[in-house]
Chains A and B, each alone.
Chain A
Amino acid sequence: MTSSEQGTRAEKTEKTGKKSGKRRLIGGPGMLLVWLYGVMVVGAVSRSAVQISTEFDKAPLAYSLSAVAGVVYGFITYSLVRGGDTARRAAFVCCALELAGVLVVGTWTLADPSAFPDATVWSDYGMGYIFIPVLLPVTAMYWLRKGVLRQQLPETSA
Protein backbone atom coordinates (compact mmCIF):
# COMPACT_ATOMS: atom_id res chain seq x y z
CA MET A 1 0.00 0.00 0.00
CA THR A 2 2.65 2.44 1.06
CA SER A 3 4.92 1.46 -1.77
CA SER A 4 2.22 1.97 -4.38
CA GLU A 5 1.44 5.31 -2.82
CA GLN A 6 5.06 6.24 -3.08
CA GLY A 7 5.04 5.07 -6.66
CA THR A 8 2.22 7.38 -7.62
CA ARG A 9 3.84 10.25 -5.86
CA ALA A 10 7.10 9.63 -7.66
CA GLU A 11 5.25 9.48 -10.96
CA LYS A 12 3.45 12.68 -10.19
CA THR A 13 6.70 14.37 -9.30
CA GLU A 14 8.24 13.24 -12.51
CA LYS A 15 5.29 14.48 -14.51
CA THR A 16 4.97 17.91 -12.99
CA GLY A 17 8.65 18.32 -12.27
CA LYS A 18 7.70 20.30 -9.19
CA LYS A 19 8.17 19.75 -5.46
CA SER A 20 10.65 17.29 -3.95
CA GLY A 21 14.15 17.89 -5.27
CA LYS A 22 14.63 14.17 -5.85
CA ARG A 23 14.14 13.88 -9.57
CA ARG A 24 14.19 17.52 -10.46
CA LEU A 25 17.19 18.68 -12.43
CA ILE A 26 16.34 22.35 -12.74
CA GLY A 27 16.40 23.35 -9.09
CA GLY A 28 18.95 25.96 -8.01
CA PRO A 29 21.90 26.27 -10.39
CA GLY A 30 20.05 23.97 -12.79
CA MET A 31 17.68 26.85 -13.57
CA LEU A 32 20.59 28.98 -14.76
CA LEU A 33 21.79 26.07 -16.91
CA VAL A 34 18.36 25.71 -18.51
CA TRP A 35 18.33 29.41 -19.34
CA LEU A 36 21.80 29.38 -20.90
CA TYR A 37 21.08 26.19 -22.82
CA GLY A 38 17.77 27.66 -23.96
CA VAL A 39 19.59 30.70 -25.30
CA MET A 40 22.09 28.48 -27.11
CA VAL A 41 19.25 26.45 -28.65
CA VAL A 42 17.56 29.55 -30.02
CA GLY A 43 20.91 30.98 -31.12
CA ALA A 44 22.24 27.88 -32.87
CA VAL A 45 18.95 26.69 -34.41
CA SER A 46 17.80 30.05 -35.74
CA ARG A 47 21.26 30.92 -36.97
CA SER A 48 21.69 27.69 -38.87
CA ALA A 49 18.12 27.82 -40.17
CA VAL A 50 18.73 31.23 -41.70
CA GLN A 51 22.13 30.33 -43.06
CA ILE A 52 21.13 26.96 -44.48
CA SER A 53 18.05 28.38 -46.18
CA THR A 54 19.77 31.43 -47.65
CA GLU A 55 23.42 30.70 -48.30
CA PHE A 56 24.08 27.00 -47.74
CA ASP A 57 26.61 26.74 -50.57
CA LYS A 58 28.86 29.32 -49.01
CA ALA A 59 29.94 27.11 -46.12
CA PRO A 60 27.97 23.83 -46.00
CA LEU A 61 30.16 22.21 -43.35
CA ALA A 62 30.02 25.17 -40.97
CA TYR A 63 26.24 25.57 -41.24
CA SER A 64 25.55 21.85 -40.86
CA LEU A 65 27.70 21.77 -37.74
CA SER A 66 25.76 24.70 -36.30
CA ALA A 67 22.52 22.82 -36.93
CA VAL A 68 23.89 19.70 -35.20
CA ALA A 69 24.99 21.85 -32.26
CA GLY A 70 21.48 23.27 -32.08
CA VAL A 71 19.91 19.80 -31.97
CA VAL A 72 22.31 18.67 -29.23
CA TYR A 73 21.52 21.78 -27.18
CA GLY A 74 17.83 21.19 -27.71
CA PHE A 75 18.07 17.64 -26.42
CA ILE A 76 20.03 18.68 -23.34
CA THR A 77 17.56 21.45 -22.53
CA TYR A 78 14.63 19.05 -22.92
CA SER A 79 16.33 16.47 -20.67
CA LEU A 80 17.06 19.05 -17.99
CA VAL A 81 13.47 20.27 -17.97
CA ARG A 82 12.03 16.77 -18.02
CA GLY A 83 14.09 15.54 -15.07
CA GLY A 84 14.41 12.00 -13.81
CA ASP A 85 17.35 9.66 -13.77
CA THR A 86 17.28 8.51 -17.41
CA ALA A 87 17.11 12.10 -18.60
CA ARG A 88 19.97 13.00 -16.30
CA ARG A 89 22.15 10.26 -17.73
CA ALA A 90 21.20 11.11 -21.31
CA ALA A 91 21.94 14.78 -20.71
CA PHE A 92 25.27 13.87 -19.16
CA VAL A 93 26.27 11.85 -22.25
CA CYS A 94 25.16 14.71 -24.52
CA CYS A 95 27.17 17.21 -22.55
CA ALA A 96 30.23 14.99 -22.99
CA LEU A 97 29.46 14.82 -26.73
CA GLU A 98 29.01 18.56 -26.81
CA LEU A 99 32.32 19.16 -25.04
CA ALA A 100 34.05 16.80 -27.47
CA GLY A 101 32.35 18.60 -30.37
CA VAL A 102 33.45 22.03 -29.17
CA LEU A 103 37.03 20.85 -28.70
CA VAL A 104 37.24 19.03 -32.04
CA VAL A 105 35.52 21.74 -34.08
CA GLY A 106 37.38 24.48 -32.21
CA THR A 107 40.73 22.86 -32.98
CA TRP A 108 39.62 22.13 -36.54
CA THR A 109 38.71 25.77 -37.22
CA LEU A 110 42.10 26.86 -35.93
CA ALA A 111 44.07 24.15 -37.76
CA ASP A 112 42.29 24.35 -41.11
CA PRO A 113 40.48 27.70 -41.47
CA SER A 114 39.98 27.10 -45.20
CA ALA A 115 37.37 24.40 -44.46
CA PHE A 116 35.28 27.07 -42.73
CA PRO A 117 34.64 30.13 -44.92
CA ASP A 118 32.09 31.22 -42.33
CA ALA A 119 31.93 30.72 -38.58
CA THR A 120 29.99 28.00 -36.74
CA VAL A 121 28.67 28.17 -33.21
CA TRP A 122 31.68 26.15 -32.15
CA SER A 123 34.37 28.06 -34.10
CA ASP A 124 37.46 28.96 -32.06
CA TYR A 125 36.00 27.11 -29.05
CA GLY A 126 32.90 29.31 -29.13
CA MET A 127 34.71 32.63 -28.94
CA GLY A 128 31.83 34.38 -30.73
CA TYR A 129 29.59 33.31 -27.86
CA ILE A 130 31.93 34.48 -25.08
CA PHE A 131 33.22 30.88 -24.72
CA ILE A 132 29.86 29.81 -23.33
CA PRO A 133 29.84 26.68 -25.59
CA VAL A 134 32.99 25.34 -23.92
CA LEU A 135 32.17 26.43 -20.36
CA LEU A 136 28.57 25.24 -20.38
CA PRO A 137 29.11 21.47 -20.81
CA VAL A 138 31.76 21.43 -18.09
CA THR A 139 29.42 23.19 -15.67
CA ALA A 140 26.48 21.04 -16.70
CA MET A 141 28.41 17.81 -16.26
CA TYR A 142 29.49 18.95 -12.80
CA TRP A 143 25.89 19.75 -11.95
CA LEU A 144 24.48 16.50 -13.30
CA ARG A 145 27.13 14.52 -11.47
CA LYS A 146 26.22 16.37 -8.29
CA GLY A 147 22.63 15.28 -8.91
CA VAL A 148 23.74 11.70 -8.27
CA LEU A 149 25.15 12.63 -4.90
CA ARG A 150 22.03 14.54 -3.99
CA GLN A 151 19.84 11.57 -4.71
CA GLN A 152 21.71 9.47 -2.21
CA LEU A 153 21.36 12.07 0.50
CA PRO A 154 18.14 12.43 2.45
CA GLU A 155 15.95 15.16 1.07
CA THR A 156 16.76 18.61 2.32
CA SER A 157 14.20 21.24 3.23
CA ALA A 158 14.92 23.31 0.11
Chain B
Amino acid sequence: MLDALTLATGVAALALAAWCGFAAYRDQPTKDWHFIGMAVVALLALVQLVVGIVQLARGEKPDQGTTIFVAYLIGSVACIPAVALMSLTERTRWGSVTAAAGGVVLAVLEVRLFDIWGG
Protein backbone atom coordinates (compact mmCIF):
# COMPACT_ATOMS: atom_id res chain seq x y z
CA MET B 1 0.00 0.00 0.00
CA LEU B 2 2.66 2.47 1.02
CA ASP B 3 4.99 1.47 -1.81
CA ALA B 4 2.20 1.95 -4.35
CA LEU B 5 1.45 5.39 -2.89
CA THR B 6 5.11 6.33 -2.96
CA LEU B 7 5.34 5.37 -6.60
CA ALA B 8 2.12 7.23 -7.47
CA THR B 9 3.22 10.38 -5.64
CA GLY B 10 6.65 10.29 -7.25
CA VAL B 11 5.24 9.89 -10.76
CA ALA B 12 2.64 12.61 -10.13
CA ALA B 13 5.37 14.92 -8.84
CA LEU B 14 7.45 14.36 -11.97
CA ALA B 15 4.41 14.97 -14.17
CA LEU B 16 3.75 18.21 -12.30
CA ALA B 17 7.39 19.21 -12.76
CA ALA B 18 7.16 18.56 -16.51
CA TRP B 19 3.90 20.48 -16.76
CA CYS B 20 5.18 23.53 -14.90
CA GLY B 21 8.46 23.26 -16.77
CA PHE B 22 6.50 23.45 -20.01
CA ALA B 23 4.73 26.59 -18.78
CA ALA B 24 8.13 28.10 -17.97
CA TYR B 25 9.38 27.12 -21.43
CA ARG B 26 6.45 29.01 -22.94
CA ASP B 27 7.26 31.98 -20.70
CA GLN B 28 4.03 31.69 -18.72
CA PRO B 29 3.30 31.94 -14.99
CA THR B 30 1.46 29.13 -13.21
CA LYS B 31 -2.28 29.23 -13.80
CA ASP B 32 -5.37 27.88 -12.02
CA TRP B 33 -4.98 24.46 -13.60
CA HIS B 34 -1.43 24.21 -12.38
CA PHE B 35 -2.59 24.97 -8.86
CA ILE B 36 -5.26 22.27 -9.12
CA GLY B 37 -2.51 19.89 -10.19
CA MET B 38 -0.39 20.97 -7.23
CA ALA B 39 -3.35 20.40 -4.92
CA VAL B 40 -3.74 16.84 -6.26
CA VAL B 41 -0.05 16.06 -5.71
CA ALA B 42 -0.09 17.65 -2.24
CA LEU B 43 -3.17 15.57 -1.40
CA LEU B 44 -1.36 12.40 -2.46
CA ALA B 45 1.53 13.34 -0.15
CA LEU B 46 -0.96 13.97 2.66
CA VAL B 47 -2.61 10.57 2.16
CA GLN B 48 0.88 9.08 2.20
CA LEU B 49 1.60 10.76 5.54
CA VAL B 50 -1.61 9.38 7.05
CA VAL B 51 -1.04 5.87 5.68
CA GLY B 52 2.58 5.98 6.85
CA ILE B 53 1.54 6.92 10.40
CA VAL B 54 -1.11 4.20 10.40
CA GLN B 55 1.52 1.65 9.36
CA LEU B 56 3.77 2.84 12.19
CA ALA B 57 0.89 2.62 14.66
CA ARG B 58 0.32 -0.96 13.56
CA GLY B 59 3.83 -1.70 14.71
CA GLU B 60 5.63 -1.88 11.37
CA LYS B 61 9.17 -0.52 11.41
CA PRO B 62 10.87 1.38 8.60
CA ASP B 63 14.30 0.02 7.63
CA GLN B 64 16.24 3.20 8.38
CA GLY B 65 14.50 4.42 11.51
CA THR B 66 11.18 5.96 12.46
CA THR B 67 12.44 9.54 12.99
CA ILE B 68 13.90 9.84 9.52
CA PHE B 69 10.81 8.22 8.00
CA VAL B 70 8.42 10.66 9.67
CA ALA B 71 10.69 13.63 8.83
CA TYR B 72 10.64 12.71 5.15
CA LEU B 73 6.85 12.19 5.22
CA ILE B 74 6.34 15.67 6.67
CA GLY B 75 8.85 17.12 4.21
CA SER B 76 6.94 15.66 1.27
CA VAL B 77 3.66 17.11 2.51
CA ALA B 78 5.18 20.59 2.99
CA CYS B 79 7.05 20.61 -0.31
CA ILE B 80 4.31 21.38 -2.85
CA PRO B 81 2.32 23.91 -0.76
CA ALA B 82 5.59 25.83 -0.26
CA VAL B 83 6.33 26.12 -3.97
CA ALA B 84 2.67 26.88 -4.66
CA LEU B 85 2.90 29.93 -2.37
CA MET B 86 6.18 30.98 -3.95
CA SER B 87 4.81 30.72 -7.48
CA LEU B 88 1.79 32.75 -6.35
CA THR B 89 4.14 35.54 -5.26
CA GLU B 90 6.24 35.30 -8.39
CA ARG B 91 3.85 35.76 -11.29
CA THR B 92 6.41 35.23 -14.04
CA ARG B 93 7.97 32.25 -15.76
CA TRP B 94 10.29 31.96 -12.77
CA GLY B 95 7.31 31.05 -10.60
CA SER B 96 6.74 28.13 -12.97
CA VAL B 97 10.40 27.15 -12.80
CA THR B 98 10.19 27.17 -8.99
CA ALA B 99 7.07 24.98 -9.05
CA ALA B 100 8.82 22.58 -11.44
CA ALA B 101 11.82 22.44 -9.11
CA GLY B 102 9.40 21.65 -6.28
CA GLY B 103 8.08 18.67 -8.24
CA VAL B 104 11.62 17.38 -8.81
CA VAL B 105 12.47 17.78 -5.11
CA LEU B 106 9.32 15.85 -4.14
CA ALA B 107 10.23 13.06 -6.57
CA VAL B 108 13.68 12.82 -4.94
CA LEU B 109 12.04 12.71 -1.50
CA GLU B 110 9.81 9.85 -2.69
CA VAL B 111 12.81 7.84 -3.90
CA ARG B 112 14.43 8.36 -0.49
CA LEU B 113 11.17 7.42 1.27
CA PHE B 114 11.09 4.18 -0.70
CA ASP B 115 14.62 3.36 0.50
CA ILE B 116 13.90 4.39 4.08
CA TRP B 117 10.79 2.22 4.26
CA GLY B 118 12.77 -0.62 2.71
CA GLY B 119 10.43 -1.56 -0.12
Contact = CB atoms under 8 A, between A and B. Distances in A.
Interface in A46-78: 46, 50, 54
Main SS at interface, chain A: helix
Contact of A32 (B71, B98, B108): B98
Contact of B98 (A31, A46, A130): A31
A31 B102 CA distance: 12
Interface string A16-45: 000000000011111110111011001000
Contacts of A1: none
B68 A50 contact: yes
Given A36-B101, A39-B105, A158-B92, A31 B86 contact: yes
A35 B92 contact: no
Given A38-B82, A39-B105, A31 B89 contact: yes
Interface of A: 26-32, 34-36, 38-39, 42, 46, 50, 54, 130, 158
22 contacts: A26-B90, A27-B94, A28-B90, A28-B92, A28-B94, A29-B94, A29-B97, A31-B89, A31-B90, A31-B95, A31-B98, A32-B94, A32-B101, A35-B83, A35-B101, A39-B105, A46-B75, A50-B67, A50-B68, A50-B71, A130-B108, A158-B92
